[in-house]
A and B are shown apart, each in its own frame.
Chain A
């Protein structure tokens, strides 16, 4: 189930139905390091595209993307330890202001939500609320291993195993906590994603980054209904 970008019939987000890479597949970008891009938000179709669908608005979109990616305003949303590294990244040594990134306290006026820290079940509702308060186009960066998949608290009774159970994520940054350079790398990847998405249009398929060949023995056997070994990039099951 991909998020269609028609705002009038955008499906309600159902937790658990968000596709994730299947067992045995490894979506990796080996030449670019550790961060991996997931599928997430694309900017909704703009007025021109909605009003006159089919008209190619490529260059205008790319210009808009250029402007958007160079002035990403992040929501001040530090949950736990990763917040300290996020603060360090914003400060004078690894300056994020040179990327145009400014932390903005209000969700109504921010573009990116960097979920830095452990997502606890009690906090899941506020996170969802904040995400929905952010206007389109918006992106989400899951910073740290807690936000990616629960991290060191993977057996805990009160931790959500990754923020992508609640909101769609664009960029995952592993680390505990990720270095400021890793966060910057993730932001740069997000900027590339924004540019790429604008180039390909709102309804294009997500890109296929290099697939690593993983030896199949020792792994859980995929179901016969899975299209294991055959990837059309959408990752949809049957």
Chain B
């Protein structure tokens, strides 16, 4: 669609190659453009395909947790949790309540960390250099807590089958409470910088619109789907672990454009902080791991569980044959499914919008390619 249809123009192919500065990982977009408008677009993935699913078949269940850490490398705890839930369901293990609360606290803080990363890099994509520094400062606080709890800033390998690896440090609860206050101020600061900023609004409002029916057909989940108006959240619709005891609201957008996707994530970050506070209040003393065998050998069977990743629904289909290694382990990555809708969103967008739309999907190539 050109503005001057009588002009004979030739579509140019522009390659936004696997290495480009608005990097969300190694993702390649081939754009066919007519002037500044995108006529067609073809995504190429697979530049980070590490064969995790095949590798999982050769590792025992305890070792698979480390591979799951590295799938969506920004929200490690959520991935570990969904895998452990799958194995626990097969083995019919009941996770102790304290372990569930600690898992939830860590996962929700990870959600805040992930949304902060999204906020920072999205602002960087749109051209704002400041919010990313603030966002990463807040992330450092969260990562310091993770280091105190699990020993690692990123790949924790802390949520284990049956519970968690070890007891949290003695000052965990007061430390998290203090962290909550700091994070609220931090998220609010980034929020104030961006959300109703004129330039940001101009860049993201009305860009990359997708309606809820098309979104469902594309398999979109998570904040992208909620921004299109559909209030679907796994924590509310198919609650797991201790989410039935927690009350929180699910932010829902209106138009399904980039600004809505951004706004939904910021509101989710606030809601996560509320969830953590409630968990701290409800948490009790108790064991963190039930009596179980050291090497997990789920009986033969299949199970499908899915949980709420910061990016959407992460699903795990686990087929077990009774041995100590999975027979087939399939991950349903949210970013992979969100990415299928990219082509639809980029219809008739400008080249500059391509970066903004891609950023608003918040993909992590580690889980797209696995």
Contacts and interface: CB of A to CB of B under 8 A. Distances in A.
A196 B153 CA distance: 33
Nearest 4 A/B pairs, CB to CB: A105-B21, A81-B73, A91-B136, A156-B51
Interface string A80-109: 110111011001110000000000010100
Interface string A133-161: 00000000000000000001101111100
B153 A152 contact: no
Contact of B18 (A92, A118, A123, A156): A123
B366 A80 contact: yes
B49 A126 contact: no
Interface of A: 75-81, 83-85, 87-88, 91-93, 105, 107, 117-118, 120, 122-123, 126, 130, 152-153, 155-159, 176-177, 179
A80 B66 contact: no
Given A80-B73, A153-B55, A158-B50, A93 B154 contact: no
Contacts of B66: 152
A122 B50 CA distance: 10
Contacts of B117: 84
Contact of A92 (B19, B50, B55, B133): B133
Given A79-B26, A91-B137, A152-B66, A85 B153 contact: yes
Given A93-B136, A158-B49, 4 more contacts: A80-B48, A92-B134, A105-B20, A120-B47
Contacts of A153: 50-52, 55
Contacts of A81: 70, 73, 154-155, 366
A159 B49 CA distance: 8
Of B46, B47, B154, most A-chain CB atoms within 10 Å: B47
A157 B153 contact: no
A113 to B, nearest CB: 10
Interface string B227-271: 000000000000000000000000000000000000000000000
A80 B369 CA distance: 11
B139 interface: yes
A157 B51 contact: yes
Interface in B53-86: 54-55, 58, 66-67, 70, 73-74
Given A83-B25, A123-B18, A155 B74 contact: no
Contact of A78 (B25, B49, B140, B369): B25
Interface of B: 17-21, 23, 25-26, 46-52, 54-55, 58, 66-67, 70, 73-74, 117, 132-134, 136-137, 139-140, 143, 153-155, 365-366, 369
Given A80-B25, A83-B25, A156 B48 contact: no
Nearest to B63: A152
10 contacts: A80-B366, A81-B154, A88-B139, A91-B136, A92-B133, A120-B369, A152-B67, A153-B50, A156-B50, A158-B49
Contacts of B140: 88, 93
Nearest to A130: B19
A121 to B, nearest CB: 9
Contact of A177 (B25, B47, B50, B155): B155
Contacts of B20: 105
B133 A117 contact: no
Contact of B47 (A83, A123, A130): A123
B154 A78 contact: no
Contacts of A130: 19
A176 B25 contact: no
Contact of A79 (B17, B25, B139): B25
A155 B21 CA distance: 31
B55 A83 contact: no
B311 to A, nearest CB: 14
A232 B276 CA distance: 60
A23 to B, nearest CB: 25
Contacts of B143: 88
Given A91-B136, A92-B137, A152-B66, A84 B154 contact: yes
B77 to A, nearest CB: 14
B55 A156 contact: yes
A83 B23 contact: yes
Contact of A126 (B17, B50, B70): B17
A49 B62 CA distance: 58
Contact of B136 (A75, A80, A83, A87): A87
Contacts of A91: 132-133, 136-137
Given A93-B137, A156-B54, A76 B23 contact: yes
A211 to B, nearest CB: 32
Contacts of B136: 87-88, 91-93
B137 A80 contact: no
A117 B154 contact: no
Contacts of A83: 23, 25
